[in-house]
Structure 1
């Protein structure tokens, strides 16, 4: 089955989001429960290939894990 892209309005016509374009300002987050049972939302980053979860290493580097 083909992957469907979001529907958008371009020049007054409804069509699929062109390949390579991304929707700006779409808030996506992942709910996470910590070991002390508190709840936090971690923001996801949208990439052309899909969403990635930024993981911050102790050394300060950021690794992006694809979802």
Structure 2
């Protein structure tokens, strides 16, 4: 069981991680595979806790979230 503060800390840290499509050998060199595995691991943990990784940034930083048009 994970407490709310731990989940908030994980979500906050996740907002600073690169998106999987941004991880490439040009930017990250030989560390690209390891970094991609770590990003995907955090995404999986969020998902297991019922948190959509695609929504985390908007939740943590709502003022930076794009406005809905519909």
What TM bracket, shorter-length normalisation?
Answer: under 0.3
What TM-score, normalized to structure 2? 0.23
Instruction: Determine which structure has the larger strand proportion and give its number.
Output: 1
Which is bigger in relative contact order (C-alpha 8 A, separation at least 6)?
2
Q: Which has the larger radius of gyration?
A: 1
Instruction: Determine which structure has the larger helix proportion and give its number.
Output: 2
